Structure 1
Amino acid sequence: MTTTSAPDERPSVAMSDEAYGALRTSTALWAGTSVLITNQRGQVLVQRVSYRPTRLLPGGAVDKGEPPARGAGRELKEELGVTATITRGLAVDWVSPTGRTTSAAMRFPGELLHVFDGGVWDDDQIAAIRPAPGEIDDVEFVEPADIPALMAPDDARRALSALRARINGAGPVFLEDGVPIALTVLDRVGVLRTARACHHLPFHPTPVPADLPVRQSWVWAFAPDGRVLVLLDPDTGAAVLPGGTPEPEDGGDPVATAVREAREEAAAELADAQYLGYLSDANGPCARVRYAASLTGLDAPQVDPATGRTYVRILAAPEQALEFFDWGPPAAAEQLTAAHQARVLLGIPQAAHQPVTELTAPVSW
Structure 2
Amino acid sequence: MTATSAPDERPGVTMREESYGALRASAALWAGTSVLITDLRGQVLVQRVTYRPTCLLPGGAVDKGESPAQGAAREMEEELGVTATVTRGLAVDWVSPAGRAVSPAMKFPGELLHVFDGGVWDEEQITAIRPAPGEIAAVEFVEPADLPALMAPGDARRALSALRARIAGAGPAFLEDGLPIAPTVLDRVGVLRTARARHHFPFRPRPVPEGLAVRRSRAWAFAPDGRVLVLLDPDTGAARLPGGAPGPEDAGDSEATLVRGAREEAATEVTGAVYLGYLSDPGGPCARVRYAAVLARVGAPPVDPATGRTYVRVLATPEQAVELFDWGPAAADQLRAVHRARALLHIPRAARQPVTELTGPHAW
Flag whether TM exceeds 0.5 (same fold): yes
Deviation at 1:218, TM superposition (A): 1.1
Tell me which residue corresponds to 2:42.
42
Cα distance between partner residues in 2 of 1:245 and 1:275 = 16
Q: Is the 8 A contact 1:4 1:11 kept in 2?
A: no
Matching residue of 2:187: 187
1:301 Cα deviation after fit:
0.5
| Counterpart for residue 288 of structure 1 | 288
Q: In 2 relative to 1, CA 214–172 (structure 1 residues): closer, same or farther, beyond 3 Å?
A: same
Compute the displacement of 1:284 (Å): 2.1
The DSSP-based 3-state class of the residue aligned with 1:53 is coil
> Deviation string for 1:242-277 (max 9, x for gaps)?
122101011100001111110011100010100000
Offset at residue 7 of structure 1 (A): 5.4
Structure 2 spans left out of the alignment, 5+ residues: none
Cα distance in 2 between the residues matched to 1:233 and 1:175: 24
- Residue number in structure 1 paired with 2:160: 160
Residue of structure 2 in register with 1:358 after alignment: 357
Task: Identify the residue that residue 338 of structure 1 maps to in structure 2.
Answer: 337
SS in structure 2 of the partner of residue 98 of structure 1: helix
The aligned length equals 364
In structure 2, distance between residues paired with 1:77 and 1:46: 15
Write the distance in 2 (CA, Å) between the matches of 1:11 and 1:27.
Answer: 21
Tell me the amino acid that sits aligned with residue 273 of structure 2: A
Alignment of 1:1-16 (within 5 A): 1-6=1-6, 8-16=8-16
- 1:346 aligned partner, one-letter code: L
Q: What is the aligned partner in structure 2 of residue 66 from structure 1?
A: 66
The equivalent residue for 2:262 is 262
Cα distance in 2, alignment partners of residues 87 and 361 from structure 1: 37
Summarize deviations over 1:21-49 as a string: whole Å, max 9, x none. 00000000000000000000000000000
Query: Structure 2 matches for 1:73-112, cutoff 5 A?
Result: 73-112=73-112
- Hey, what does 1:244 align to over in structure 2? 244
TM-score by length of 2: 0.99
Task: Give the partner amino acid of 1:114.
Answer: H
User: Aligned partners of 1:156 and 1:106: how far apart in 2?
Assistant: 22
| CA displacement at 1:106 relative to structure 2 | 0.7
Gaps of 5+ in 1: none
RMSD: 0.8
List aligned pairs for 1:11-30, cutoff 5 A: 11-30=11-30
Match of 1:143 in 2: 143
1:175 and 2:190 are equivalent in the alignment: no
> 1:112-131 maps to which residues of 2 (within 5 A)?
112-131=112-131
Q: Distance in 1 between matches of 2:2 and 2:46?
A: 48
**SS state of the match for residue 21, structure 1?**
helix
Deviation at 1:132, TM superposition (A): 0.3
Q: Output the TM-score relative to the length of structure 1.
A: 0.99
Question: 1:279 aligns to what SS in structure 2?
Answer: strand
Equivalent AA in structure 2 for residue 179 of structure 1: L
Q: SS at the partner of 2:34?
A: strand
* Structure 1 residue 55 displacement after superposition: 0.5
Shift of 1:216: 1.1
Corresponding position: 1:314 with 2:314: yes
- Taking only the aligned residue pairs, the percentage that are identical comes to 78
Contact 1:34 1:72 in 2 (8 A): yes
